């Protein structure tokens, strides 16, 4: 994939998304804008992540240049018809993890790709199964990790993921925050189309 003539812009402050793009050896810059991540209450599952990605994309629409690709992304956890975003505090983080305990849920990541010609979204769903988490396991994780910046109050790559997740069906990198194989393929297609 020859990206010498392209400027890839990652519109995300997520250190995990930054690390993933760096692992592809793709040169990119980071530009972020504050965006209201609230959404209409009637939206469900994929619709929520895609709505927020459109919101994150909006500041770039009128300034996109030829040979630029802006990547926006949003990850949510969807369980029993409830959307779990990032918890505002440790109390909410504990409530979220107790809610996810012993159940399966979906991790949904939508990724937007804006070029001077068009805007496209890909959405990836991964099913995650948690064992029954003990209160002391949840408390230990909340005190020793950083659950407040993660949808559903957990990182699969962290301690809680190693001891608590018994199965996943789908993309692992999607659960971390970016479906890497799908993103790489989409960038390649966009470059070929330009």
d(CA 107, CA 125): 6
d(CA 12, CA 10): 6
The answer to whether the beta carbons of residues 27 and 3 sit under 8 Å apart is yes
Cα distance between the two ends of the chain:
13
d(CA 107, CA 22): 23
**Catalytic annotation, pick one of 74, 135, 139, 149:** 74
What's the token pair of residue 6? 């392209």
The answer to whether residue 19 is catalytic is no
Catalytically annotated residues: 74
């Amino acid at each position: 994939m020859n990206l010498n003539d392209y400027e890839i812009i990652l519109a995300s402050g997520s250190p995990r998304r930054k690390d993933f793009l760096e692992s592809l050896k793709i040169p990119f810059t980071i530009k972020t804008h504050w965006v209201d991540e609230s959404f209409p209450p009637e939206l469900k599952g994929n619709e929520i992540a895609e709505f927020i990605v459109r919101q994150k994309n909006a500041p770039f629409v009128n300034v996109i240049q030829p040979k630029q690709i802006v990547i926006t992304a949003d990850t949510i956890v969807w369980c029993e018809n409830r959307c779990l975003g990032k918890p505002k505090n440790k109390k909410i983080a504990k409530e979220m993890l107790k809610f996810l305990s012993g159940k399966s849920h979906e991790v949904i990541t939508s990724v937007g790709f804006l070029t001077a010609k068009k805007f496209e979204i890909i959405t990836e769903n991964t099913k995650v199964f948690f064992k029954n988490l003990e209160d002391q396991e949840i408390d230990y994780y909340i005190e020793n990790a950083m659950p407040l910046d993660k949808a559903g109050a957990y990182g699969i790559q962290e301690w809680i993921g190693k001891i608590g997740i018994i199965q996943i069906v789908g993309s692992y990198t999607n659960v971390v925050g970016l479906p890497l194989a799908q993103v790489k393929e989409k960038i390649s297609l966009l470059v070929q189309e330009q």
